[in-house]
Structure 1
Amino acid sequence: MTRYLLSRLGSALLVTALASIGIFALIRLVPGDPVTVLAGPDATPAARDAIRAQLGLDQPFWSQYVHWLGDLARFDLGPSYKLGGDVGSLIADGALNTVVLTLFALVLAAVGAIVTSTAAVVGDRRWLNSLLSGLNTAAVAVPTFATALVLVLVFAVRFPVLPAGGTPPAGFFAQPDIALQYLLLPGIALALPAWAALTRFLTEALRTQMRQPYVTTARALGIPRRRIVLTQALRNALPSTVTVLGLQLGTLLGGAILVEAVFAWPGLGRLVEQGISARDYPVVQVLLLLSVVVFVVTQLATDVIHAWLDPRVRLNGVS
């Protein structure tokens, strides 16, 4: 397992390094100039040059990049250009909200996928399979922001049973029942695409397991189909599903930007949107790099868990 982990760690570090270069370059290709945003449209060229020099934007690309990496190594994220305050403080303020929302959506997607997939395979009815296929298609085809808007209109406007947006006034842990009410609508909107992908994959994985010889033997011994699915097929289908679950984290992080905007959720996704609108380089590039690091670490963790559950993976990975 240690050899397998080390082999995966090298590729994870390489991906992170290449991503940091790509993010730093792409941010500077976005139309607009932070100096113009800061100085205003009526500023003189001398004033703009002074601001550019103060921010270090007059330096060559690689000099700016190396300086940025040095600051990151010292955990000095620097000040925000436009939003105000230190970048680290801005991220810390929104991190808890995004983590809670993302984990809640991930749990909803995972539990929902296990329930619907096992129900489809245990029931094995044509109408159930058609219904599940239709729901999967709709969850993938309808944009996340459209789903979020529909949920707000139905459950917060037409039938005002849940909050339309914001976070719990007393925090997430003071009153769990109130926190759940605030989490339900954004969590469902964010979880639906991940649920669809997980359900489709796990259903096919379970059906593949049900065609294996050990299932034929179990059926011949008179073991009920439900018991075979829940005690044997599901256990054998989960290792590969864990990898797909890790991939869905990227979907959740991307969807969080739209969901947080619709529900006025003060998290990192909303901070990204504000930073891009204000051409705030330090905020946007740190947040994008953070999302890459979270994605890479999650993939590394899911690969290790997959290898732990299925020894064949780690044996092939180090051969």
Structure 2
Amino acid sequence: MRTFLLKRLPSALLVLLLASFAVFLILRLIPGDPATSLAGPDATPETVEAIRSQLGLDQPLFSQYVSWLGRLLSGDIGPSYAIGGQVADLIGDGFGATAQLTLGALLLVVLIALPLAVLGATTRSRPVAAVVQAVTTGVLAIPPFVTGVVLVLVFAVSLGLLPAGGHESLLTEPDLAVQYLAMPAVCLALPSAAVVARYLKDGIERALAEDYVRTATALGVSRRRTVWRHALPNALPSAITVLGLQVGHLIAGAVLVERIFAWPGLGQLIEQGVIRRDYPVVQDLLLLVVAVYVAVQLLTDLAYTWLDPRIRWE
């Protein structure tokens, strides 16, 4: 494992470096800047230039980029330009809520995808197989914001079973927190669950067609044992890879889902940062998302090598 990490670490650091440059450059290409936003619509050009100089925005872009990286490496992220407060505090306040939503959605992805994949791959009933196929296709075709609105109308407005929006910590009020988490997590998890279910279903079907599975069936091993002890473990590595890729979609989708359900996570923070051209907040937040995604991919590769002995041997 140590050798694997040492081999992958340089490429991971390179991805982070390239991502930091891309984030920095793209923000500068967006019309407007923090100085204009802070000065207000009636400010004179001299006032705007004075604010730009105070924030260091009059320096060459490469100098600004190097200065930003230097602060990141030293751990001194610095203050927000427009929102107010330290960037580290702002991100820390929203990170817990977004992590709670993302992990809850990831758990639902596994709980939904696994039975759907096993049912779709092993059923001998064509109507059941058609229903599984229709469910996964329909979930992928419906945008998350439509799913979110429907969930709110049904479970919050019509039935009154769940709160329409808000957030509560799992550590303080777990029962209430689950109620707040239910609809956002389901809305976020459904598209990724459909993708993982399809890949896992195909993997199980391929494994069931292998000679060793047919031999086990001929020797009298039950269908259930064959699927869960032989076919499913051999289908898991590819599904784990797809699940790791879906983490990126979950993090990106959390921005929209948090908006629908008034979830006080990083999605609202990044929205405020983009609208107000708060460069430090948006830069640091987007780079944090990339770092989390890269870390998840490393863990996914580790899980893949653990599940597939052939990879370990290589």
Paired residue total: 314
Q: Distance in 1 between matches of 2:40 and 2:265?
A: 28
Paired with 2:45 and 2:190, the residues of 1 have a C-alpha distance of 50
Which is further off, 44-53 or 29-38?
29-38
User: Which consecutive unaligned segments of at least 5 residues does structure 1 have?
Assistant: none
Taking the aligned partners of 1:314 and 1:230, their CA distance within structure 2 comes to 23
User: For 1:148 and 1:66, how far apart are their aligned partners in 2?
Assistant: 41
The one-character-per-residue Cα deviations of 1:113-159 (angstroms, maximum 9, x if unpaired) are 11111122232321122111211112212111111111111111111
1:162 alignment partner in structure 2: 162
1:166 alignment partner AA: G
CA contact (8 A) 1:148 1:186 kept: yes
Distance 2:51 2:140 in 1: 45
Comparing 305-314 with 67-76, which one deviates more in the overlay? 305-314
Moved more, 134-143 or 258-267: 134-143
CA contact (8 A) 1:243 1:303 kept: yes
Contact preservation (8 Å) 2:95, 2:265: yes
Shift of 1:16: 0.9
1:180 aligns with 2:178: yes
Contact 1:4/1:314 (CA < 8 Å) preserved in 2? no
Cα deviation, residue 5, structure 1 = 2.4
Which stretches in structure 2 are left out of the alignment for 5+ residues? Answer: none
- After superposition, what is the alpha-carbon deviation per residue over 1:206-250, rounded to whole angstroms, capped at 9, x for unaligned? 000000111100110122212211111111111221111110100
Paired with 1:314 and 1:32, the residues of 2 have a C-alpha distance of: 51
Q: Report the TM-score, using the length of structure 1 for normalisation.
A: 0.95
Aligned partners of 2:145 and 2:260 also within 8 Å: yes
Q: CA deviation at 1:2?
A: 3.1
CA distance in 2, matches of 1:213, 1:100: 43
Distance 1:315 1:5, change over 3 A: farther
Confirm whether residue 266 of structure 1 aligns to residue 243 of structure 2: no
Matched, 1:86 2:83: no
Q: Supply the distance in 2 between the matched residues of 1:262 and 1:156 (Cα, whole angstroms).
A: 13
User: 1:1-319 residue pairs with structure 2 within 5 A?
Assistant: 1-168=1-168, 171-316=169-314
Looking at structure 1, the residues matched to 5 and 203 of structure 2 have their Cα atoms a distance apart, in angstroms, of 26
Q: Once the two structures are aligned, what percentage of the paired residues are identical?
A: 53
8 Å contact kept, 1:78–1:87: yes
Please give the alpha-carbon distance, in whole angstroms, between the structure 1 residues aligned to 2:65 and 2:254: 28
Q: Is the 8 A contact 2:199 2:238 kept in 1?
A: no
Runs ≥4 in structure 1, deviation > 4 angstroms? none
Task: Give the aligned residue type for 1:204.
Answer: D
Residue 33 of structure 1 and its aligned partner are, at CA, apart by 2.1
- Counterpart Cα distance in 2 of 1:311 and 1:210: 19
Task: Determine helix, strand or coil for the equivalent of 2:29.
Answer: coil
Q: What TM-score do you get using the length of structure 2 for normalisation?
A: 0.97
Instruction: Give the superposition deviation at 1:285.
Output: 0.8
Q: What do you get for the CA RMSD once the two structures are aligned?
A: 1.2
